[in-house]
Amino acid sequence: MNIPEQTEEDYLRGYSAQDFHAPLCTVDVAVFGVDDGVLKVLLVRRRDHPCRDRWALPGGFPDLSGDSDIAQTAHRKLREKTGLDAPYLEQVESIGNATRDPRGWSVTLLYFALLDFAKVGALVDDTEWVAVDEALARPLAFDHVTLLQTARTRLQSKTRYTALPMRLMPEAFTLSELQQVCETILGHSLEKKSFRRRLEKTDILTETGEMRPTSRRPAKLYRISGTHRDDFVFPGMLEAR
């Protein structure tokens, strides 16, 4: 007897995701800001088990009925856990194994976010800005020390060849202030002339027409131009002085 071939519609009607083992799936976000020459990350204190009362990167589970994609999950969890909205989020890496979460096999989608520290304002309860080096020395929840180190390494890498650090700057800034932020991220000094030369060869900055008083002489203020793109890449790498 010939058995009719099953159609895809029939297959999907009878399909249940519960018939197969599936890992836990979360997002975690390393939120970076620069405060007085220090690269900081935003941590939240976990209120529930597992790892209750330990500090962690903000994150959580997707809302399968409300989130349209994993990026929306990242934005939503950041808002829920910290009260902040991040204008820039970038996915860093997918990490999964049987040991990173005591609840079982788990996969997380790691993001980093960049914020102008001066605009953040008051934080919600159980949230704290911590110097990255200090955070890495803490017993963070799950594998979040590894996640934080991975996110910082990505940020450092992109600082060497993209204009991404401008996402950490206020609306108007001097070239010296921008260089200081890049040096803070990288952890070493940069040669002033070559740093400025690479900017002058592009149109990603626009003079505001205003000056900032300094101890030596007034410095020009700049803002990001309308032609700036987050995927902009410089032709050469930033090198240590």
Give 70-73's long-range contacts (Cβ < 8 A, gap of 24+).
70/27, 70/109, 71/111, 73/27
**Is the Cβ–Cβ distance between 89 and 111 less than 8 Å?**
yes
Cα 237 off chain centre by: 21
76: three-class secondary structure by DSSP? helix
Task: Check residue 1 and give its pLDDT.
Answer: 57
Is there a contact between 8 and 61 (Cβ–Cβ < 8 Å)?
no
Establish whether the linkage from the previous residue to 23 is cis, with ω within 30° of 0. Answer: no
- What are the pLDDT digits (tens) for 179-218? 999 999 999 999 999 999 999 888 899 999 999 988 888 9
Query: Strand 106-114 to strand 24-35: parallel, antiparallel, or no bridges (unpaired)?
Result: parallel
Residues 132 and 33: their CA atoms lie apart, in Å, by 10
| % residues pLDDT > 90 (the chain) | 75
* Euclidean distance between CA atoms 108 and 195, whole angstroms: 36
Q: How many alpha carbons fall within 13 Å on the CB side of residue 165?
A: 25
* CA–CA distance, 230 with 45 (Å, rounded to integer): 31
Q: What DSSP element (H or E) covers 153? A: helix 144-161
Answer whether residue 42 shows pLDDT above 60. yes
Q: Report the SS3 class of residue 47.
A: coil
Closest alpha carbon to 222 in 199, 238, 201: 199
Q: What pLDDT is stored for residue 159 in this prediction?
A: 96
Mean pLDDT, residues 28-52: 96
How confident is the model over 210-224, as pLDDT tens digits?
Answer: 999 888 889 999 999
Prediction pTM value: 0.92
Write down all domains in the chain, each with its CATH number in brackets: 22-159 (3.90.79.10), 162-224 (1.10.10.10)
C-alpha 115, offset from chain centre: 9
Cβ atoms 21, 106 nearer than 8 A: no
Residues 6+ apart with CB under 8 A from 78: 29, 31, 58, 84, 85, 86, 89, 113
Query: If pLDDT is split at 50, 70 and 90, which confidence band does 231 have?
Result: confident
Report the pLDDT value the prediction gives residue 124, as an integer from 0 to 100: 82
Q: How far apart are CA 17 and CA 35, in angstroms?
A: 46
Distance, in Å, from the CA atom of 58 to the CA atom of 231, rounded to the nearest integer, reads 25
Instruction: Give CA–CA dist 82/125, Å, rounded.
Output: 8
